[in-house]
Each structure stands twice: as structure tokens, then as C-alpha cells.
Chains A and B, each alone.
Chain A
């Protein structure tokens, strides 16, 4: 079937705005970077603060909302007046869906009638389940909030991939150094590479071990556009559902001149949100994304959007009909999900995952999970690239939430960037002096590998790098007799738990590149009184 393309100034304007906002979103993600010695600007989080779903859900779960989320009132007011224009004009993930949907049009079977379908009610049930879940203290925006999904995917998967491509290309050219005569290609590529690296990527060689899963989910939901365009927005997105509820009775409504309508259904054919209920007739404001394709496509000029006071217009017959039974089922689903997600021993505080080193300032696990949306902003600004999305270390409840992986990057003693940017204060914004006192875990030697213990050779890299002014790693001199009977003087390192903050730099720099001979586990972490194996502090150590 040939495709009908709408090309009017109004639609062009909408597309331009969509692309500009998407570009702005990309720019804001890229702009999130560590600034040595400077506070990070608050606008790095602004996209999240415009999202009303985050304060509602984290507020229910954690009983606390940041002042900055007052910005989402703007979205609420706009939606009450104009309908779901956030989805149609602003949402960057919505724009990605639009673009991918267009890409798929070529291969998709001939376009079916895309009128409103009962299945679109699903997103309201998703929202209901999400809210019930939040009432039980379980916040699960990780795979449901569009801004969170896009931000994380860009941070963890797409930008690092782009950076890797640029870096390896530039390095390959640098190493080959081809040229003509005395002129070298690198005289062009190197300055370009340096500029791109310093202005766009900032950090060197950023990479994330679980990025494949993050990317896989993103590819899955964008791939759904093959089934139906904007599948995510129509059937799943709980933010769309929340805004749909706010657009129950908008002030800007679509009016049909029934005399002009010849039932051609171009309006329905071009509709992004499947808000039309049939050729030329009905319109569900809750489903309308305000894309204006319908009014632009109407050859008869019979469709117009007009201001009308909500109590004057009669939109009642076309309301979305949520069934009481469906709502109860969704609520029950939310309760069951809450129970299941919180059933693990870890969630009950009975066990602690040794590798779950949370960023400095993270509250105890339950409160942290109630706030953290797993957006990835902390991972983006971590100067050492040490924060990484979990897979199942924190349970399904904590999917993709940040953890420190010392093997890859450590927690810089002089840095508190993650807390500065966290939109929901899941990582509290601690002053540097306070942050320095936070313990993320405790380092411990693997004396079967550590060189001075196992191989009779001095090493000391861990002690050298320990940033704590009083040195959490110290040496005890010993004399050992080797296989040849020759006594050797050695300095054997020990960890002083009274000073170790679990920053992980010792593990990061250990000469063993496979499995470090000093490792940091979550033991002794400040945020859990139950995870403290070390009694007291001060003198009285065995060494």
C-alpha cells in the first residue's frame, strides 16, 4: 500500500520541535561530565524533573520528593490544557519511536487500520500496578519510564559504542600513520580526534559490562514499532497513561465538521496515538499525542482543534473505559509483584551481596531502591567510570541500579559528583568532607595471591595509592626464609578497617589483572548497621 505522507507547515513544525528536543536531550546527556573542583549544573537533571511520573512513584515508595520536581508541574499544566503533547512533541523516546516507526514502514505489511484498540488500556493497568507497587515501597521505573530508558541506553550503551568506534579508528590511523610524502594523515585526524574526545566524550575508554542487556531492552521496545508504530507509547508507557489521565478533559479539543467529512479515514491512517475510533468520527483525547497529522491530512478541511471549556464539550461517550475488574486485577498484580520482588533474602536484609558496593551517599538498600530509577546519570559523571549497572546482584528490584566495580574504576577520594547529579537523591548530595567519611565497603587481601604473602616479593601498589590521609593500608615487616634457605626481609600490607572507606583504588591498581589480590566487598559499609563485621576501632589489632 502506498503510504500517505503528511507535509504541512504545522506538521513540519512539530517534527522540527521533536528533533530539536531529541538533539537537546542528547546534548544534555553528553554535557553530564565530571568537572574537577566545580559543582555540576542542576540542569543536567532537568529532563527528569519535567517528568511527573518519577516524583509520583518515588514519592509513594520513598515518602520523599525533591523540590526540583516542581518543574513537572509545567508538564501537568500543559497536559491538562493541551492534552498529551508531551508525548507527541517533547518526549525524546517518543521521537525515537517515531523515527524507528518510519524506518520500518518500508518493510511492514500494508498498513492496517490503526484505530483505537482496547489493548491500549494496558498502559493504564501498567500504571495502576506500578502505583500499587510503589505503595508497597517498591519503585520499578527502571524498564517503564521513557526518559530513564533513553538516558540509560545512551549513557551505558550508545555513547560508549560511539566513543569506542572513534577511538579505535583514530588509534588505528595513528599507529599506521599513513601519508603522502612528508604529509601525514594523522596531522588531520589527531587534532580532530583530540577535539572530539575532549569536547564530547571527556573520559577515556568508557565501557560498561552489562551494556548489552541495556541495549537489548532498548532494541526490543523500539523493535515493537514494527508491529505497530509507537507501540510503546500506545500500549505500555505508564507516563503516557498518567498524562492520558490528565488529558481526560482537555481545553483544546478536536472538532469535526460532519458535513465536510467523506469518511476517507486519512485522519485515522496518519494518527500517531491511535486516538481515532473510526473513519472521521470519534476521537479519544487521552490517546491523542497532539501530532496534528489528522487535521493536516484531512483533505476536506473538516478537522480543527479549537479551544473549548471542558465543562462545555461533550467528550463523555468517547472516554477510555477502564473496567473496575481490570483495575482490581492490575492492583492485585502490583501486590503480587511487590511480594515477589521483595521476597529475596537480600531485600529482607538477611544477606548482603559482597559485590554490591553502592555509590557514596546511597541510603540503606530498601530506601535506595525506592528512589533509584536506574537512569544512569551517576554512571555518566563518575570520573573513573567505576559505576556500572547491576544485572541481578541487587535482585530484579534493583535491575540496572549503579554499583561500583573497582576492577574497572574506583571511587575518587576528592569527588562527590554522583550525589550532585542524582535526580531523586537516591545518592544523597553529600559535601565532600562528609563523603570522605562514607564507607562503601572494606578491602581484604587474598594472601594466596598477594605478592609479599604468596610469592616473597615486595609490591606495595595498594598502599601507595590508598588516598586516605592516615593510610588504610599499612606495612608490617617480616623475615621469611625462601626455598633456597635464604632469609628475605619483606613488607606485608594489612588493611586497617578503622580507616578503609572501600573506595576500591587498591583493587583497581593491583598488579594481578585477572583476579586482584586485594578486593573490596560490601562488608563494613556505612549504610547498613547489620553489615558490620568489625568490632570497634582504634588499637588492639592483631598486627
Chain B
């Protein structure tokens, strides 16, 4: 047999290389977070709601609420293993200042980062696939400075890094997802509770739109695609920031008149329950919210959050 031409050689090498890499890709997709195992002693609640019950609101109220909500849920140590790599996924979608409540409260994010480190995390990464230009969103939302101060690593999602992954959903069969998020040991979902023009509310499930590219596709059937990506992401811990809430003209907002202070933070292992609670906060029947209904239909959690092990706290 004659020696291969350069072209043949390159083609064969490429084929061999691709074959060698295939298992790695498959592994990458399977490396999603595992289900939480509850400690053996007392059964911690599935969901906690921390509300401010005092009179004068302290400036670090979000910090207090996060601490209380997480503490009652069994502490961050329930979710973060020693030396874990944690991705904190706030909503940093928009180039807006914190007071407009279009993004997650920076203090909430900062405190969650600190709790992760206290629980023994090795690395905490903070990042979101923003709608406006990333640097502007990260800085102006106050989230990057707050997370940096807490010791987190700020990650800008790189468009060329998204990788097609098998979602296997009803609408999403394959979709580009950010591998670095999927490969983390734990993803802490930290949405802000707010109004949304298309889905009426945007809460924890919809927050997963920040891990995918080509979101235009989602918009043709938001409830189903969001349920698809939520199931793919195997949520373990979601913390809802309802300190300042944008109640109209979301998701971008921009008018202070539309921002209400609810002074509430809720944390849950059940993402559907959390979204049902958030929907009620915004004055909706959860059953009429497409994403929540679809989440329940997918059996990702319970819409009736009051039937869970629920703990409500008055913080003062």
C-alpha cells in the first residue's frame, strides 16, 4: 500500500482524534449535579421563607435574610461539599443599577458566595449569559464588585465556548449550553423575583436561560423549553431574591415606581415550589403561570408549596 497523501493523513488523524474525544464529551454532559442527600439526624425543611418583620430596615437586610433563610434550610453545608467548585447563577441580564431590581441584589449574591466559602467550597464562580453587554451588566448591577469582594471568581461567558449538549426535552433535543456551568459540583440558582412581559413572572426556572445560547429559539415556546432546560440542569438549591421586586414593565424595568420592596428571601430544594411562591408574591395563581404549570407537569417539583416541609421566618 502506498503512503497516504497529506490529505488522507489529515483526514485519518482528525477521525481518530474525534473518536478519542467522544467519551470526554459524553462524560461532560453526564457530569450534572447529583441529587442532595439529607443528613440523617433531623429532617431539614424543603423550603424556607425569610421576611423582614422589623420596623427600620437595615442597609444590610439582604445579607440577614439570606443568612436566615439558608440557616433554616440546614445551612450551606447541606449542599456544598468540601473543596467543591460552586457556580452561583444570579440574574445579571441587564445593564441596570441595583435599585431598578432588574437583576439579583448584589448583597444577596455576595452573601451566598461567602456562605459557600464558609461551607468549604474551593472555588466559587459567578456568571450569567447577559442580555446587554456583559461587562456593563456585571459592573453596573453591582454584582461583580460584590462577588469579587466576597472572593468569587467572575466569569464572562464566552460565546464561542457554548457546546451543543443533548437535552432530550420535548422541544429542546440538542442545545448549546455553557460547559463550565454544567461541570461545576453545584449550581446555586439565585434569581430575582420580577415581572416579565412574556412569561408574566421570571423566577428560578427561567433563570436557567442564562446558561444557554440561542435564546431566540426559547421564545417560541417559553414554558416547555424552560422546563426542558430546568430538567437538564437538575436543580438542587434555588434562592429567590424578593427584597426589591420589579412588579411591572419587566424584565428590563427602569422606573422606580414599578419597584416594590417585599424584603423577602426564600430558599428551596424544590424549584417549582419556589416559583409557585414567587408567582403568588407577584399576585398570580401559580397554576396559570406557564413555566410553573409545566414544571409541575414535568414533575420537577410541587406547585403546592405549603404542602412541603416549609419554614417561614420573621427576621427582625
Q: Which residues of A contact B (CB under 8 A)?
A: 34, 36-37, 167-168, 171, 174-177, 197-198, 202-205, 383-384, 412-415, 451, 457-461, 463-471, 475, 491, 505, 509-511, 513
**B139: which of A36, A168, A505, A510 is its contact (CB, 8 Å)?**
A36
**Nearest opposing residue in chain B for A172, CB measure:** B160
Interface residues of B in 174-222 (CB under 8 A from A): 196-198, 215-217, 219-221
B114-122, B228-236, B252-260, B301-309: which one contacts chain A? Answer: B252-260
Contacting pair B133 A384 (CB below 8 A) = yes
Q: Can you list 17 residue pairs at the A/B interface with Cβ under 8 Å?
A: A34-B133, A36-B135, A36-B140, A37-B136, A177-B24, A198-B156, A412-B133, A414-B95, A414-B96, A414-B140, A459-B220, A461-B215, A461-B216, A467-B94, A469-B253, A470-B255, A471-B249
Other contacts beyond A205-B160, A464-B252: 6, CB < 8 A? A36-B135, A36-B140, A37-B136, A175-B163, A469-B253, A475-B197
**Nearest opposing residue in chain A for B252, CB measure:** A467
A244 to B24, CA, bound (A): 66
- Give the number of A-B contacts (CB < 8 Å): 99
Q: Which 10 A-B pairs have the closest CB atoms?
A: A469-B254, A511-B216, A460-B198, A36-B139, A36-B136, A469-B255, A383-B133, A171-B160, A414-B95, A461-B219
Contacts of A204 in B (CB 8 A): 134, 156, 158-159
Contacts of B95 in A (CB 8 A): 36, 412-415
Q: Within 8 Å of chain A (Cβ to Cβ): is B261?
A: no
A509 to B158, CA, bound (A): 18
A344 to B44, CA, bound (A): 76
Q: Within 8 Å of chain A (Cβ to Cβ): is B17?
A: yes
Q: Within 8 Å of chain A (Cβ to Cβ): is B314?
A: no
**A458: which of B94, B132, B196, B198 is its contact (CB, 8 Å)?**
B198
- How many Å from the CB of B257 to the closest CB on chain A? 9
Q: Within 8 Å of chain A (Cβ to Cβ): is B12?
A: no
Q: Within 8 Å of chain A (Cβ to Cβ): is B21?
A: yes
**B198: which of A198, A384, A463 is its contact (CB, 8 Å)?**
A463
A113 to B198, CA, bound (A): 75
- How many Å from the CB of A436 to the closest CB on chain B? 9
Contacting pair B135 A202 (CB below 8 A) = yes
**Nearest opposing residue in chain B for A459, CB measure:** B219
Residues 81-104 of chain B: 1 if any A CB is under 8 Å from the residue's CB, otherwise 0?
Answer: 000000000000011100000000
Q: Within 8 Å of chain A (Cβ to Cβ): is B161?
A: yes
Contacting pair B254 A37 (CB below 8 A) = no
A340 to B134, CA, bound (A): 44
Contacting pair A451 B220 (CB below 8 A) = yes
Contacting pair A176 B17 (CB below 8 A) = yes
Query: Which of B156, B160, B251: most chain A Cβ within 10 A?
Result: B160
Evaluate whether A463 and B197 lie within 8 angstroms (CB atoms) in the complex, with A171-B160, A509-B216 already known: yes
Interface residues of B in 134-174 (CB under 8 A from A): 134-136, 138-140, 156, 158-161, 163
Q: Within 8 Å of chain A (Cβ to Cβ): is B131?
A: yes
Contacts of A167 in B (CB 8 A): 160
Contacting pair B136 A414 (CB below 8 A) = yes
Contacting pair A412 B159 (CB below 8 A) = no
Q: How many B residues are at the interface, by size bracket?
A: 35 or more
Contacting pair A177 B216 (CB below 8 A) = no
Query: Which of B21, B135, B255: most chain A Cβ within 10 A?
Result: B135
- How many Å from the CB of B281 to the closest CB on chain A? 20
A414 to B130, CA, bound (A): 15
A412 to B219, CA, bound (A): 22
**Nearest opposing residue in chain B for A510, CB measure:** B216
Contacting pair A467 B254 (CB below 8 A) = yes
Contacts of B221 in A (CB 8 A): 457
A168 to B159, CA, bound (A): 11
Contacts of B253 in A (CB 8 A): 469
- How many Å from the CB of B244 to the closest CB on chain A? 16
Contacts of B96 in A (CB 8 A): 414
Contacts of A197 in B (CB 8 A): 158
Contacting pair B217 A511 (CB below 8 A) = yes
A202 to B138, CA, bound (A): 14
Contacting pair A460 B252 (CB below 8 A) = no
Contacting pair A464 B139 (CB below 8 A) = no
Contacting pair B21 A177 (CB below 8 A) = yes
- How many Å from the CB of A477 to the closest CB on chain B? 13
Evaluate whether A464 and B198 lie within 8 angstroms (CB atoms) in the complex, with A34-B133, A204-B158, A414-B96 already known: yes
Contacting pair A466 B133 (CB below 8 A) = no
Query: Which of A197, A412, A491: most chain B Cβ within 10 A?
Result: A412
A57 to B66, CA, bound (A): 61
Evaluate whether A460 and B140 lie within 8 angstroms (CB atoms) in the complex, with A171-B160, A205-B159, A466-B252 already known: no
Contacts of A168 in B (CB 8 A): 160
A176 to B88, CA, bound (A): 27
Contacting pair A412 B197 (CB below 8 A) = no
Interface residues of B in 9-62 (CB under 8 A from A): 17, 21, 24
Contacts of B197 in A (CB 8 A): 460, 463-464, 471, 475
A177 to B23, CA, bound (A): 13
- How many Å from the CB of B46 to the closest CB on chain A? 31
A377 to B148, CA, bound (A): 31
A513 to B138, CA, bound (A): 26
Contacts of A414 in B (CB 8 A): 95-96, 132, 136, 140
A167 to B197, CA, bound (A): 36
Contacts of A175 in B (CB 8 A): 163
Contacts of B251 in A (CB 8 A): 464
Contacting pair A465 B133 (CB below 8 A) = no
Contacts of A465 in B (CB 8 A): 131, 252
Contacts of B216 in A (CB 8 A): 461, 509-511, 513
**Nearest opposing residue in chain A for B253, CB measure:** A469
**Nearest opposing residue in chain B for A385, CB measure:** B133
Contacting pair A511 B220 (CB below 8 A) = yes
A401 to B205, CA, bound (A): 44
Contacting pair B219 A460 (CB below 8 A) = yes
- How many Å from the CB of A359 to the closest CB on chain B? 16
**Nearest opposing residue in chain B for A171, CB measure:** B160
A167 to B215, CA, bound (A): 23
Contacting pair B136 A34 (CB below 8 A) = yes
Contacts of A413 in B (CB 8 A): 95, 254
Contacting pair A176 B21 (CB below 8 A) = yes
Contacting pair A171 B133 (CB below 8 A) = no
